[in-house]
Amino acid sequence: MIAKSNMEEISEFVATNKDADDFTLIINTSDKLTTRFAQNGITQHIAGENLNIRLEVAFDNKCGVATTNDSSQESLKDLIRKAENLAILNIPDPEFIKSESAHELPVVDNYSEETASLNSKTMVNEILKCVRNAKKLKAKVSGLSEKDIYKSFVSTANGFKGFYEATIFSHSMTMKKGGVETKVSKSVKDRTKFDMNKLIEQLNIQFNSLKDPVAIEYGRMPVILRPAAFLNWMYYLIWTFDRRDADEGTTPYTGQFGKQFFGKEFSFSSSLEDPELMAVPFFSRGIPSREIKWIDQGTIKNMKTSRYYAGKIGQRPADPYNIIVVGGDSTEEEMMKIAGRGVIINNFWYIRPVDRKKGEWTGLTRDGVIYFENGKIKNSVNNFRWNEIIHDATRRILALGKSVQQEYFSRVPTLLIDDFNFVDVTTF
């Protein structure tokens, strides 16, 4: 992989050879090792490095952007020429702001030597465990196992320089037999925190609970959202959780900044202090990351804010760099007793907006739905289509499970939500 010193040399070359008034240089490089498996056999190995160099330049407030994957001086000269020519031809950007100056950045540790040194043989042996498990159940397993070593470097004409490196290991697998199919996944920055046996156990529990599904009617009912399902829904909350959009009246958060708009049981933050979660030292071309509460006991404390809009309203730019949702201490068994009757959801997919301004989303359940009654699991049931408003749903939280690491950037709990709105049944 390209070294940090080489990235600094590229930065110096750009600074020396550019004619533009301003520039931001972004260099990202990764070294990936990927193994795909399907139908109980390995189907593909992919290994190699990728390099992306992006140069953003400006003459006054006329901007141009060009990219390359070649770090030779000839290629860099061409990169500068293309970006500057585009800027000269472009119309002025009324929202242009100058590149970031030097900042003191927080110290983060996103690198794991155990992850970086992971090799194909070890990955194949771990996949073999998954295949043997599937064969014992007379089922088929498919999935993806991947290691990624990542480096990012940003420099600007105004003196900002930032660098970090990170490692990620991820594994996902789907097991299928007849009409029964379910998936599990997990990613970590430190592979010593990954337990394949535990993930296989989770897969087996889900798989064995889905035999002989029974058809039930849709309607409002209590729901236990497991972490994977809740995290998939959180992405869409974050997507629309923007201060400018709220101020311009295009989201449900208009006029709600600083007010309790979510349920009191709901708190969401980003943190540099969780040792198991990735936390980048800077974002948005050079803004230092910081401890930040987005929603605190239902009250909106901060929202995503771009550099331009933050300057306009006199706030600090903000962007979620990881996802932490505060949990509780309830088990699924306790949740079932609280609710009496309802369903357990393993995951969501095909989530789409119904009414962005209202904050209403629709989606489908996947990877199995389990029905419980009188506080005990009864059987698996059909999949559902649902329509829900996430901030309204948080006001109906009855219990929270322990917050657990679902991905390398997230820690979220299981939630028990009352009167979840299922509007139809689906066949997949």
Q: What is the pLDDT of residues 105-127, one digit of tens each?
A: 999 999 999 999 999 999 999 99
User: Last residue of some domain: 181, 202, 223?
Assistant: 202
Residues 6+ apart with CB under 8 A from 145: 34, 35, 37, 123, 126, 127, 170, 171
- Whether 223 and 354 share a structural domain: yes
Cα separations in angstroms, 27 against 11, 195, 208: 9, 33, 46
Does any domain span residue 207? Answer: no
Closest CA to 190 of 289, 282, 109: 109
Position 330 in a domain: yes
| Domain shared by 183 and 314, yes or no | no
Q: Please give the pLDDT value at position 319.
A: 97
Give the CATH number of the domain where residue 106 resides: 3.30.2290.10
In total, how many domains does the chain have? 2
- Residues 209-225 pLDDT 10s: 998 889 999 999 999 99
Among residues 135, 170, 202, which one ends one of the domains? 202
17 shares its domain with 152: yes
Q: What is the DSSP letter of 194?
A: -
Distance CA 315, CA 242 (A): 13
CA 134/CA 138 separation, integer angstroms: 6
* Same domain for 174 and 223: no
Band of pLDDT at residue 423, cut at 50, 70 and 90: very high
The residue range of the domain holding 32 is 4-202
Q: Which ranges constitute the DSSP H helices of 241-370? A: 243-247, 307-313, 332-339
**Same domain for 348 and 222?**
yes
Beta bridge partners of 51: 29
DSSP-assigned letter for residue 92: P
Q: How far is residue 199's CA from residue 202's CA, in Å, rounded to a whole number? A: 5
* Per-residue pLDDT, 209: 93
Rounded (5°) CA angle 227-230-235: 120
Question: What's the rounded Cα separation, in Å, for the pair 293 and 193?
Answer: 26
Q: How many residues does the chain have?
A: 428
For residue 231, being part of any structural domain is answered with yes
Residue 15: pLDDT over 90: yes
Residue 236, CB half-sphere, CA atoms under 13 Å: how many?
A: 24
428 has a pLDDT exceeding 90: no
- Contacts of residue 183, Cβ cutoff 8 Å, sequence gap at least 6: 172, 173, 174, 175, 203, 347, 366, 367
User: Is 0.85 topped by the overall pTM?
Assistant: yes
Q: In this structure, are 172 and 320 located in the same domain?
A: no
Task: Looking at the structure, tell me whether residues 219 and 110 fall in a common domain.
Answer: no
Q: How far is CA 403 from CA 154, 229, 323, 325, in A?
A: 33, 13, 11, 7
Same domain, 232 and 254: yes
Residue at 224 is within a domain:
yes
Give me the mean pLDDT over the 297-315 stretch: 97
User: Do 135 and 50 reside in the same domain of the chain?
Assistant: yes
Instruction: Tell me the mean pLDDT in the region 34-39.
Output: 97
Task: Please state, for a pLDDT cut of 70, what percent of the chain lies above it.
Answer: 100
Domain contains 295:
yes
Report pLDDT for 212: 85
The pLDDT of residue 139 is 98
Same domain, 338 and 427: yes
User: How confident is the model at residue 427, as a pLDDT?
Assistant: 80
Same domain (yes/no): 313, 196 = no
Looking at every residue in the chain, the average pLDDT score rounds to: 97
Q: Do 163 and 75 belong to one domain?
A: yes
Q: Is position 189 within any domain?
A: yes
